[in-house]
Amino acid sequence: MPYYVAELAPKWSPLPGLCVLQDLTVHWAASIIPLSVLLIAIDQYLAVTDPLHYHFYINRTKSAILIVAAWLVSVLAAVGSILVPRPGRGSKLCRGDDEKGME
């Protein structure tokens, strides 16, 4: 879904920095969403399977640490994916592809 939203960009030639920012945002969103869902699933699993000891496993401090760790991992994954050169990386707009050649 995030990549599809990035492809809906207007048909103008942006600055190279905006292309990097667009790629960074797409990769960040693609990595934070599954990590957030994973944290929610773990929380719900512990709440259902062991409700009496739930607060022993999960408290505000542990939750905050896990959320910050998920954000840091997603930012590092996004930055890492931008720094690794790959052919065909980025949206069609940033690569300079035109729609005539894609049909």
Q: Tell whether the model's pLDDT for residue 99 goes beyond 80.
A: no
Global pTM value: 0.66
pLDDT digits (tens, 9 = 90+) for 33-89: 999 999 999 999 999 999 999 999 999 999 999 999 999 999 998 888 878 766 665
Does 91 or 18 have the greater pLDDT score?
Answer: 18
User: Rg of the Cα trace of the chain?
Assistant: 19
Interatomic CA distance for residues 103 and 81, integer angstroms: 28
Q: Is 62 in contact with 43 (CB distance < 8 Å)?
A: no
